[in-house]
Amino acid sequence: MNDKKIILQDKKFDLTLQRLAHQLIENYNDFENTCIIGIQENGGFFADRLYEIIKKEVKGLKAEFGKMDITFYRDDFRIRKSPLAASKNDIDFLVQGKKVILIDDVLYTGRTIQAAFSAMQHYGRPQKVELAVLIDRRFNRQFPIEADYRGLSVDALEEAYVEVKWKHIDGTDIVIFYPDRN
């Protein structure tokens, strides 16, 4: 992967998280009747960070928080060359009649979000679902899915790759753009 470009790092990365959290606070106030759900694995890391910011800012926060694994709802899990490892589901509430904010790190084809919609059906029928992503790869969508909240939009062709690294795992918060996967 040659010619990588850092598109978010350190202070700008943190400012982006702060901005997204404050947009959610502005629209949801105390988050009454609201669930925040991170899509495992990397969307769960992003959701953790957003939720921490929201908890610090909102007194009397009423949101329910969880993380959802979508591994076996993916339309490609049976055709992968190697077996997929599922993450832990961490949702101890129903979404029935509630507003749901789905959180993922990168929106690309829309297939992950489609799988999340399918998985969420096991927790009830939400009143409303919105999507927050750190990075919106605007091209190559395969499903008609758009983010309601986005940290940064990236114009990337199919052969490109966007990688998000998290401080608590990788030692630094960084988003790297690779114009070619090879």
We report the CATH number of the domain holding residue 93 as 3.40.50.2020
Question: Residue 165 domain-assigned?
Answer: no
Mean pLDDT across 8-22: 97
In a domain, 129, yes or no: yes
Confidence band, pLDDT 50/70/90 cuts, at residue 159: confident
- Helix (H/G/I), strand (E/B), else coil: 41: coil
Q: Which domain holds residue 151?
A: 11-73+89-156
Which residue, 108, 113, 65, 69, is CA-closest to 88?
Answer: 69
Q: Is the predicted pLDDT of residue 83 greater than 70, yes or no?
A: no
The pLDDT > 70 percentage for the chain reads 93
Q: How many CA atoms lie less than 13 Å away from 45 in the CB half-sphere?
A: 13
CB 67 within 8 A of CB 38: yes
In angstroms, the CA 3 to CA 55 distance is: 38
Domain total of the chain? 1
Express as a percent the part of the chain with pLDDT over 90: 78
- pTM across the whole model: 0.92
Pairing mode, strands 161-165 and 174-178:
antiparallel
User: What pLDDT shows up at residue 138?
Assistant: 87
The answer to the question of residue 164 being in a domain is: no
In a domain, 79, yes or no: no
* 172 domain residue, yes or no: no
Q: Residue range 155-170: average pLDDT?
A: 89
The predicted-structure confidence for 21-49, as pLDDT tens digits, reads as follows 999 999 999 999 999 999 998 999 999 99
Q: Does 84 fall in a domain?
A: no
Q: Is residue 169 part of a domain?
A: no
